[in-house]
Amino acid sequence: MKTGTRPIRSGRWVLVLLLAAAAGWSCGDDSSATDDGGTDVEPEADVPPEADVEADAEPPEDAAGEDVGEEAEAEAVDPCAAYPCEPYGTSLGSVLEDWSLQAVNPAARAVGGEDDLVDMHDFYALTEAHGGTAKALLIYVTSVWCPYCAQEAARLNALYEELHPLGVEMLGLVLDGATPGEIATTLAARTYAMRHGWTFPTVVVSEELYDDLTDYWPPEDRASGEIGVPLHLLYDLREMRMYGRFAGAVQTNLLRYPLTEIVEDPQWTAPGRRLVSLDCAPGTGTETEPNLIGSSAEDGTSLPYALSGVQCPPVVGDGLFIDEDDVDLGTIEAGTVLDVKVTTGTGSGVYPFALFTRLAGTSLDLMHDAPWVMGSEANGRQFLVDQRGHYYLIVIDGRLRSSYYYGPDLEVPAADECCVGGPDHTYELAVSPFTLAVTDAAVAVGTSIPFTLDGGDLNVHPFDVTAATSYAVRMETADPDLLNPYLAVYDPAGPAVRGANDDEDAAAGNTNALVRVTPTADGTLWVVAGYTGASFREGPPSYVIRIE
């Protein structure tokens, strides 16, 4: 997920670019809508007064105090008919304040009417209670300067045309113009809508709302200071209640799911109480949902380990949640090699992707991030543990990374079809010990030989060494965008890892791997060639082993 952040400074937001990793998911996913155990949460919200309030009007009296005409029943009046009553709020489940914003395109004027303003009560007037069909509203908060916003903005209208017949409305809210921190002009907002082909209403932010809008970001975003655009605000139009929110440019499916859910089956347990559930397939397979690191992760400490898993669709609450299935592998000693296989069932629409991670304090460090070339056959990936630690295996939907990691021979769904999930999207995971062996040609000292990585496996090259002699072993690639090498020197006689390295000089931009080793005895060591990132989009990535 990529966003532009807007820290508050001198009463006005100044926006700077920030790359926020998504997924793995983590997507730096916001998690404030669930508790630490990942269970269903019903966030508290202020509940407005009852909507159906009837006030009986007393019949008028004449000057003499006598009734005028016959006594009549008072007309029932609902004070919340035109728009839901206060209190309004900015939290999940609360009612949206009746904003009034300047229309900038024909679609906005068609909704707002003659005053050239779009009010939130204009959208409420489109609901079934007023004879319309509207059920859900997406407010897309964007800025002209933001490049990630523009990528998503270009896809929004197609989604609008698809979902509008079902009762989905959209509103484009343009904040900044081309300069971060400067409110967009009407012309800039209108040009933005035209550039991206928007046929749904578009408005420009008001000065008052610009200064107050920060309260609409998820609490975790506000706490971290990363107030990023684009911001997605999703509302159930039936009561104008906030259904979910998250920041960051996303693919179309990540909006299709929650908007369709609002239309067909909104998850309210009571007025103002939203149920956020990450369990799409209760009782299916052997995994436990929800499944978060440190809470309900499966126990894979006894190997071999097998898991029947289900990938769930994305969920929106106070943040965007992408399903991840976590296996706690416990403490693993250096030199251990694991073989991990993922098999997708016949007809399964999921493309699992495995991340090998080490728990360091409260954070997770990715280890040997590698592609899964999914198909009908089980495809494995070996992970060499270079240091003792507590490890997890995380399985996510690989289509989040399909544009980079999947090979050209695999028909991967389009990016906008990311993260399809549900009970039918199953997979089988198998984790077992692996015995490392020589797989590729030997490398002699003073030579430089090219190789390729095939099928995501580790490559093992032997080389002869002399006691008390220092060696510099390098794994290099011509194109660091296609391969980020990871190198280990392994002593099969131990067995033991004699050295490992990801980047020779990351600060200088040198992502090639370098290990220096001085053996204490004559013999043969193994060069284990892996990677922390690789692209198979142009065929197997190539590398060179150089020993000096």
Q: 177-191, 273-287, 465-479, 516-530: which has the minimum mean pLDDT?
A: 273-287
- Residue 281 falls within a domain, yes or no? no
- Residue 93 falls within a domain, yes or no? yes
| Domain interval for residue 491 | 448-547
Question: Are 464 and 500 in the same domain?
Answer: yes
Q: What single string gives the DSSP state of each residue in 409-471?
A: TS-PPPGGGTT--STT-EEEEEEEE------S----TT-EEEEE--TT--EEEEEEE-TT--E
Question: Are 7 and 140 in the same domain?
Answer: yes
- Residue 475 falls within a domain, yes or no? yes
Which of 409, 433, 457 is the C-terminal boundary of a domain?
A: 433
What's residue 44's pLDDT? 38
What's residue 360's pLDDT? 86
Question: Are 356 and 396 in the same domain?
Answer: yes
Count of the separate structural domains present in the chain: 3
Residue type, 239: E
Using one digit for the tens of pLDDT, what is the confidence trace for 131-148?
A: 999 999 999 999 999 999
Using one digit for the tens of pLDDT, what is the confidence trace for 305-339?
A: 999 988 888 899 999 998 888 999 999 999 999 99
Using the predicted structure, report yes or no on whether residue 389 has a pLDDT greater than 50.
yes
Q: Which residue has the tokens 């209760």?
A: 282
The two tokens of residue 536 are: 């198979």
Give percent of the chain above pLDDT 70: 80
What's residue 189's pLDDT? 98
- Residue 170 falls within a domain, yes or no? yes
- Residue 67 falls within a domain, yes or no? no
Whole-structure pTM value: 0.78
Using one digit for the tens of pLDDT, what is the confidence trace for 73-92?
A: 433 578 889 999 999 999 99
CA 193 to chain centre: 25
Which of 433, 461, 491 is the C-terminal boundary of a domain?
A: 433
Question: Are 257 and 378 in the same domain?
Answer: no
Give 170 or 24, the one with higher predicted confidence: 170
What's residue 25's pLDDT? 23
- Residue 62 falls within a domain, yes or no? no
Give percent of the chain above pLDDT 90: 56
What's residue 76's pLDDT? 53
What's residue 292's pLDDT? 75
Question: Are 318 and 409 in the same domain?
Answer: yes
Which whole number is the average pLDDT over 42-54?
35
Taking residue 378's Cβ as centre, other Cβ atoms within 10 Å add up to 12
What's residue 316's pLDDT? 95
**455 phi-psi bin (left φ>0, alpha ψ -120 to 50, beta other):** left
From the list 168, 218, 190, 9, the residue with the least C-alpha distance to 107 is: 190
Question: Are 10 and 92 in the same domain?
Answer: yes
What's residue 65's pLDDT? 45
Using the predicted structure, report yes or no on whether residue 473 has a pLDDT greater than 90.
yes
- Which residues are bridge partners to 103 per DSSP? 203
| CATH code of the domain containing 500 | 2.60.120.380
- Residue 425 falls within a domain, yes or no? yes
Using the predicted structure, report yes or no on whether residue 12 has a pLDDT greater than 50.
no
Which of 400, 433, 466 is the C-terminal boundary of a domain?
A: 433
- Residue 68 falls within a domain, yes or no? no
What's residue 54's pLDDT? 32
Using the predicted structure, report yes or no on whether residue 58 has a pLDDT greater than 80.
no
